[in-house]
Amino acid sequence: MDKIKEKLEKLRLESDGNASRADAAEQEVKQLKATVEKMETDMQGLNNKIALLSSDLERAEKRADEATQQLRSVEVKAEHHERKSKQLDNEKGELEKKHEQLQADHAKLQAEFAETMAEMDAL
pLDDT surpassing 90 at residue 49: yes
* pLDDT for 109: 95
pLDDT at 123 over 80: no
Instruction: Give the model's confidence band at 14: pLDDT under 50 very low, under 70 low, under 90 confident, else very high.
Output: confident
Is a pLDDT exceeding 80 seen at residue 62?
yes
pTM > 0.75: yes or no: no
CA distance 113 to 89: 35
Determine what percent of the chain is predicted with pLDDT higher than 70: 100
